[in-house]
């Protein structure tokens, strides 16, 4: 089993329900077990041009999983969950019902056409780092060190979203 960190995001539809569904779907995968989840945070949409406050805001969370699946197979399954949740890929960093990204996969370092590990921009993104710290306060990211020391860890670009704990989705 390899530990992996999965970032979850949604800014279309019932955003909270989308995150809860994704967590249940990940935990239901053969060879994957969700071991922890952050709370939910909210943030403005980020587009290639920068922050887009006019777009619907995102709800974001992080899940910690143990995976028997290799990284690319896990990515295949996450992409399938996205599609089943109504994800349409029309524009880069466009609005979406569900976005599931592998942030880290054990100590694997990879740079393929489909998968870069660790995620190349995660260390700069408060909407990943802030919830990741909630799920694992001692987390580190390969090549960057402890995530609590990153600038993104103390950003005001994300704010709390009042919701029941995400792990309840796994246990319900």
Q: What residue spans define the domains of the chain?
A: 2-162
The per-residue pLDDT for 48 is 83
Of residues 83 and 4, more confidence is placed in 4
d(CA 97, CA 13): 6
d(CA 63, CA 135): 7
Q: Is residue 109's pLDDT more than 80?
A: yes
The per-residue pLDDT for 77 is 98
For the residues 66-93, what does the mean pLDDT come to?
88
- The domain 2-162 is classified under which CATH number: 3.40.50.720, 3.30.70.560, 3.30.365.10, 3.40.640.10? 3.30.70.560
pTM: 0.94
Q: Is the dihedral of CA 133, 159, 157, 49 positive or negative?
A: positive
Q: Is residue 88's pLDDT more than 90?
A: no
**Residues labelled catalytic:** 87, 96, 99, 101
φ/ψ of residue 60, rounded to 5: -130, 155
For the residues 112-127, what does the mean pLDDT come to?
94
Tell me the pLDDT tens digit for each residue of 26-41: 999 999 999 999 999 9
Q: Is residue 93's pLDDT more than 80?
A: no
Q: Is residue 172's pLDDT more than 90?
A: no
């Amino acid at each position: 089993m390899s530990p992996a960190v999965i970032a979850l995001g949604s800014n279309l539809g019932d955003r909270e329900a989308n995150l809860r569904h994704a967590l249940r779907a990940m935990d239901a995968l053969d060879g994957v077990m969700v071991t922890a989840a952050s709370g939910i945070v909210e943030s403005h949409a980020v587009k290639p041009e920068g922050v887009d406050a006019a777009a619907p805001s995102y709800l974001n969370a992080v899940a910690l999983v143990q995976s028997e699946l290799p990284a690319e197979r896990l990515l295949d399954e996450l992409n399938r969950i996205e599609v089943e949740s109504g994800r349409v890929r029309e524009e880069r960093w466009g609005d979406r019902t569900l976005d599931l990204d592998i942030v880290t996969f054990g100590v694997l370092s990879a740079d393929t056409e489909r998968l870069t590990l660790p995620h190349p921009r995660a260390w700069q993104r408060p909407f990943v780092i802030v919830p990741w710290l909630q799920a694992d306060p001692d987390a580190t990211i390969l090549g960057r060190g402890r995530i609590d020391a990153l600038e993104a860890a103390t950003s005001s670009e994300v704010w709390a979203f009042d919701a029941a704990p995400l792990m309840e989705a796994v246990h319900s």
